[in-house]
Amino acid sequence: MMKAVIRGTGRWLPPRKISNHDLAQWMETSDEWIIQRTGIEERYWVAEEGGMGASDLGLEASRLALERSGWQADDLDLIIFATLSPDYFFPGSGCLLQAKLGLRDTPALDIRQQCTGFLYGLATADAYIRSGMAQRILLVGAEVHSTGLDVSTRGRDVSVIFGDGAAAVCLEAVETSDQVGVLAAGLHADGSMAESLMTEAPASCCNPRISREMLLQGKHYPYMDGRNIFKLAVKRLPEVALEVIEKARMEVENVDLFIPHQANLRINQAFAKAMGLGKERVFNNIQRYGNTTAASIPLALDEALEQELIGPGSTVMFLGLGSGLTWGAVLYRFI
């Protein structure tokens, strides 16, 4: 049976480090508030003048992942690009990345599942590989949030949490009957809650898609009903983790490391508590990167591998909840 196995990973952060103190110069907030409510100490943003889109960050991370896999770009037969901050309304960032990698014919698709983009992307890559439709897939999560944030006090609840960044994973089809690769996945969505976390404009249902009035109202900035999302995350994450562990006919004890989406340190601490996990079994790096949305899980994976917290034979669970609303978990064992 064909299994999707990870051959290499890479991450890339833009060089402009933004501390909580930097944010406090632009809006009414404080280092204490941000650390206490979110755990975030700093994040990376692209240069203030812009010039880098999600595909540019994704390119740097992809180059590293390809190099560590010992692959050339033209070894790829599919690119999956997860982002909520695409370079353009259309075409998708996957196509832009494909061209930047020097490719001219490789299929590329975008996944627009925000914080769970990596989970949906990994399950999609696994399905392509199991069905024989692809052998070597590049899965990328990349975000440029900073150019779309309201850095005045009006936007402080959202703007302090987001960071820019990218991470990429190379997945290869391996014929084996061993219990490796994606062991089980559970993906969910509840579109009735779309408006609890969204950027309203530009929107195809508005004519024109964006107006001066909408700009003045800040409709082009993200809106989040933070308290409700927080409560839901604390409920849904243990639920979906147990669902997927059961699906794989395993026990919580069999999972070496949980790698959750990095939305809020308190959410991940509550998840650990609900699951009865010691802090060494739940990976967190939100302190240094903030919430990098589609990039956050692969970014954490790349660091966990680098720190040798996991390696050959390890079983990890990736999980998260975000805009859509979408949530899910994927259980993976390294070959």
Judged by the rule CB under 6 A, the positions of this chain that interact with ligand ACO are: 29, 33, 37-38, 84, 114-115, 156-157, 160-161, 197, 226-227, 229-230, 233, 263-264, 267, 291, 293, 322-323
Catalytic choice (95, 115, 145, 268): 115
20, 264, 285, 291: which one is catalytic? Answer: 291
**Using an 8 Å Cβ cutoff, are 79 and 47 in contact?**
no
Between 98 and 323, CB nearer to ligand ACO: 323
Q: In terms of CB distance, is 65 or 229 closer to ligand ACO? A: 229
Question: How far apart, in whole angstroms, are the C-alpha atoms of residue 124 and residue 139?
Answer: 10
What minimum distance in Å lies between the beta carbon of 65 and ligand ACO? 23
Q: Cite the DSSP H helix spans in 28-116.
A: 31-38, 54-69, 93-100
| Residue 141 near residue 84, CB atoms below 8 Å | no
20 is catalytic: no
Q: Which CB sits closer to ligand ACO, 31 or 77? A: 31
Q: Which of 261, 264, 268, 285 is catalytic?
A: 261
User: Is 145 designated active site?
Assistant: no
For residue 329, the minimal CB distance to ligand ACO (Å) is 15
**Residue 291 is a catalytic residue:** yes
The two tokens of residue 136 are 């070597």
Report in angstroms how near the CB of residue 31 gets to ligand ACO at its nearest.
10
Q: Is 8 or 238 the residue whose CB approaches ligand ACO more closely? A: 238
Show Cβ contacts of residue 163 under 8 Å, excluding neighbours closer than 6 positions.
18, 40, 43, 44, 45, 143, 145, 146, 289, 290, 291, 292
Nearest Cα neighbor of 50 from 148, 151, 162 is 148
Q: Measuring CA to CA, which residue among 243, 267, 4 is closest to residue 122? A: 4
Instruction: Name the residues annotated as catalytic.
Output: 115, 261, 291
